Structure 1
Amino acid sequence: MLNLHLPHALGAWLNRLTGQDSELHADTSDTVMRWPPTAARVLASSERHAHKALMHALALEHPKGFLLAHVPLHRLVRVPKHNSYREWLSRTGLLTVDFALCDEHGVVRSIVLMPVSDDQLRLQRRRERLLRVLHATDLPIAEWDREWTNDAVERLRHKLFPAVRSAGFYSDIPHRH
């Protein structure tokens, strides 16, 4: 009995004919050859506008601070490790915040989240899980409002850093005596 794999044989013959045969025999496990990477746009248009406004507000509160975009949750918070850290990471490992505003020491001072559309139920459930963790940290959390780009920078600063400064508060700006 003759067992022919006609589609495979025809494909191999066409590859040899067009000269693509040598590329296929290179290294089939090489991901760069099989999926050639290209640069991607990291921030969408609305995120770029938000980034500019947030940078101005951050410069007023923490002049040497950092504005980080698309930060994984496990890089922003610490949890006690007496329970399984691997289990916590498996539940929250794919969650990210849109913007994290940090002081000059890299400590997160405020979180900004971009709005999620109402028709994306899966993203809404993910956002609720993210908010549950973030609310437990007592970090100021704000959802980006498009009108903030038109706000005065000082007003935006107070929306992002609403915490009342206690006696133990330190700032990036040197104190004058």
Structure 2
Amino acid sequence: MLNLHLPRAVGAWLSRLTGQAESRPADPADTVMHWPPTLARVLGSAERHAHKSLAQALALEHPKGFLLAQVPLHKLVRVPRHHSYREWLSRTGLLTVDFALCDEHGYARAVVLMPIADGQVRQARRRERLLKVLAATELSLATWEREWQNEEPARLRATLFPKSRGPGYYADTPHAAPH
């Protein structure tokens, strides 16, 4: 059966005959029209200084490593799935670490968190949940201190990676990944 919308079809036909452009109202669900996007600064001033210093220290420990910023927690750790993974994500899915220092295979080896401002109760609660999960991992964890930006990369390396490499450690082989 043919389903015609006569008023709409006639209106479109008349618009074409008179040469008027069809002006349709914006879709109310169109987020680009209602909230036009603009560029945002990804890293603030303190974070940019931290990134520069951390990159130098990481290059000494893992020359082919990666320094990632604002990484979601669920990308860093895996949890057993005998419980609901969806429930775990609902509790921790919005938690992020400020910097993840990864080896050449993409495994996180250290995490650096920027300090939170006093009076930020909500951020403090999130930080507590994040620290609780990270404490159960073998990741080296540090909170960024402003003095580190003037520190030598070798000293910062020792702070970020306190575990010394044992004999027979080969950074460029896949067996170096944690089990």
State the superposition RMSD in angstroms.
1.7
Q: Which amino acid aligns with 2:113?
A: L
Moved more, 23-32 or 130-139: 23-32
Shift of 1:99: 0.1
Q: What does residue range 17-166 of structure 1 map to in structure 2 within 5 Å?
A: 25-166=25-166
- 2:3 corresponds to which residue? none
- The structure with the largest alpha-carbon Rg is 2
Cα gap change, 1:168 to 1:127, in 2 (>3 Å): farther
Note if contact 1:115-1:143 (Cα within 8 Å) is conserved in structure 2: yes
Change (3 A) 1:156 1:37: same
Gaps of 5+ in 1: 1-21
- SS class of match (2:131): helix
| Stretch moving more, 161-170 or 88-97 | 161-170
Return structure 1 stretches of 4+ with deviation > 4 angstroms. Answer: none
Structure 1 residues 108-144: Cα deviation after superposition (integer angstroms, max 9, x where no partner): 0100000012211111111011000001012000000
The offset of 1:164, in angstroms, is 2.8
Distance 1:104 1:73 in 2: 19
Partner of 2:170: 170
Partner of 1:112, secondary structure, is: strand
Aligned-pair distance for 1:30? 1.2
Query: Using the alignment, how far apart are the partners of 1:153 and 1:112 within structure 2?
Result: 15
Deviation for aligned residue 1:147 = 0.2
Q: CA deviation at 1:172?
A: 3.5
1:168 is displaced (CA, Å) by 6.1
TM-score, normalised by the number of residues in structure 1: 0.81
User: Cα deviation per residue 1:9-58 (whole Å; 9 max; x = unaligned)?
Assistant: xxxxxxxxxxxxx9881222111111111110000100000000000001
CA contact (8 A) 1:63 1:172 kept: no
SS in 2 for 1:47: helix
**Which amino acid letter does the alignment assign opposite residue 89 of structure 2?**
L
Q: 1:103 to 1:53 in 2, by over 3 A?
A: same
